[in-house]
């Protein structure tokens, strides 16, 4: 069975601070995919990144970066120089490769990030 | 290109009423999904479909039904609404078993 743990329920930072959102996953599969989604106050879910289990290279996209470490089963997300617009709930999700014919995502419970001025 | 659209955005139902949540995608994706999101929780899969005419149960299918007569549409039916079905419902689609793209959600309250 798959499991995703986001232990940080809520984080508050002041604008321009760096913040890291933690994600720890459990799976018995050797091939799997990890995702991050953003849910702003408007409620929609916005795809941010996908990473497969064979690619442990860190990814940077503007102020966002992701650190994938198989040794600790973690896929952490860092926002550098946070902005008020980053305020949202962030979800980490896992899909194992052998979930049948469909892409069944297992979601964490989310981390609410509040960025204030 | 609208992506995934859902209607209605909000709905209040009385216990025992029925309704259909509509979901349409214009990306020609084969895979479609319905999730529910309860307060403070992640999303849980209700039903999914890998193509027209093919549907299957997810984690929490009880109280719901789906159909997939076309590639574009994947409606979710609640037959006898119960307070436990108060939630935000998200529809999603993906080209293959890959990245899922979500609709804006439907907030449903059952009183």
Chain A nearest CA to B68, separation (Å): 15
- Residue A8 in contact with partner chain B when CB distance is under 8 A: no
Residue-wise pLDDT for A10-65, tens only, equals 999 999 999 999 999 999 888 899 999 999 999 999 999 999 888 888 888 899 99
Could you report how far apart the first and last alpha carbons of chain B are, in Å?
A: 36
Say yes or no for a CB contact (<8 Å) between A44 and B40.
no
User: Which pLDDT does position A75 carry in this prediction?
Assistant: 95
Say yes or no for a CB contact (<8 Å) between B100 and A44.
no
Chain A nearest CA to B30, separation (Å): 10
Which of A93-107, B25-39, B70-84 shows the lowest mean pLDDT across its residues?
A93-107
For Cα atoms A51, A22, A108, give the angle at the middle one, nearest 5 degrees.
75
User: Which pLDDT does position B87 carry in this prediction?
Assistant: 97
Write the DSSP string, A20-89. EE--EEE-S-SSEEEEEEEE-TT---EEEEEEETT----EEETTEEEEEEGGGTEEEEEESS--GGG-EE
Q: How far apart are CA A5 and CA A45, in angstroms?
A: 19
Say yes or no for a CB contact (<8 Å) between B102 and A37.
yes
> Which residues fall within 8 angstroms of residue A66, CB to CB, at 6 or more apart?
A36, A49, A51, A58, A59, A60, A75, A76, A77, A78
Which of A30-34, A63-67, A95-99, A110-114 shows the lowest mean pLDDT across its residues?
A95-99
Judge whether A6 and A20 are in contact, CB under 8 Å: no
User: Which pLDDT does position A5 carry in this prediction?
Assistant: 96
What are the CA-CA distances from residue A31 to residues A51, A54, A70, A77, B58 (Å)? 11, 7, 11, 21, 21
pLDDT of residue B99 exceeding 70: yes
Say yes or no for a CB contact (<8 Å) between B31 and A102.
yes
pLDDT of residue A87 exceeding 70: yes
pLDDT of residue A101 exceeding 60: no
């Amino acid at each position: 069975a798959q499991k995703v743990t986001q232990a940080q329920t809520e984080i508050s930072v002041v604008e321009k601070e760096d913040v890291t959102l933690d994600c720890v996953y459990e799976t018995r599969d050797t091939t799997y995919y990890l995702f991050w989604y953003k849910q702003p106050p408007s409620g929609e879910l916005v795809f941010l990144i996908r990473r497969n289990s064979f690619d442990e290279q860190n990814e940077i996209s503007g102020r966002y970066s992701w650190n994938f470490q198989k040794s600790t089963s973690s896929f952490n997300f860092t926002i550098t120089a946070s902005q008020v617009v980053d305020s949202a709930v962030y979800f980490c999700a896992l899909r194992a490769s052998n979930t049948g014919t469909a892409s069944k995502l297992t979601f964490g419970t989310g981390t609410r990030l509040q960025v204030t001025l | 290109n609208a992506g995934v659209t859902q209607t209605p955005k909000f709905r209040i139902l009385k216990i025992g009423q029925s309704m259909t949540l509509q979901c349409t995608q214009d990306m020609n994706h084969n895979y479609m999904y319905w999730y529910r999101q309860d307060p403070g929780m992640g999303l849980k899969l209700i039903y999914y479909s890998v193509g027209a005419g093919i549907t299957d149960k997810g984690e929490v299918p009880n109280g719901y039904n789906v159909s997939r007569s076309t590639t574009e549409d994947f409606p979710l039916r609640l037959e006898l609404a119960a307070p436990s079905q108060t939630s935000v419902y998200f529809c999603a689609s993906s080209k293959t078993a890959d990245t899922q793209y979500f609709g804006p959600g439907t907030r449903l309250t059952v009183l």
